[in-house]
């Protein structure tokens, strides 16, 4: 039996780079922002940050900056992050970190 019988028409191969390897997508980056955590769902591994203009931004446990522990975050904490606006899923906070308090 032919390959088309099982899989439909054959697909074109992905374009490769000059070295012959498929390149990884560029890392996500956004604009620097700060806000306060207003919702935190530890069991579901996500939360929301409210900006100064009352806009709420989603963040996930995987979006927390290196060196910051998701379970140590609390509602009311002031955080800094990168605001990434995605046309499909909306606003998202990347590299979320608790703002250091001045001594």
Give the pLDDT confidence of 18-65 residue by residue, as tens digits.
566 766 666 778 899 999 999 999 999 999 999 999 999 999 999 999
Question: How many of the other CB atoms lie within 10 Å of CB of 79?
Answer: 22
Residue-wise pLDDT for 76-99, tens only, equals 999 999 999 988 889 999 999 998
Quickly list H helices, 1-103.
3-7
Report the pLDDT value the prediction gives residue 45, as an integer from 0 to 100: 94
DSSP per-residue string spanning 54-71:
S-EEEEEGGGBPTT--GG
Report the pLDDT value the prediction gives residue 38, as an integer from 0 to 100: 97
pTM: 0.70
Q: Which residues pair with 4 in a beta bridge?
A: none
């Amino acid at each position: 039996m032919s390959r088309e019988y099982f899989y439909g028409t054959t697909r074109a191969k992905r374009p490769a780079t000059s070295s012959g390897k498929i390149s990884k997508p560029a890392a996500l980056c956004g604009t620097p922002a700060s806000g306060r955590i207003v919702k935190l769902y530890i069991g579901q591994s996500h939360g929301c940050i409210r900006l100064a203009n009352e806009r709420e931004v989603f963040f996930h446990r995987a979006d927390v900056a290196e060196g910051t522990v998701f379970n140590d975050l609390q509602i009311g904490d002031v955080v800094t992050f990168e605001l990434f606006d995605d046309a499909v899923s909306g606003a998202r906070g990347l590299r979320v970190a608790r703002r250091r308090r001045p001594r």
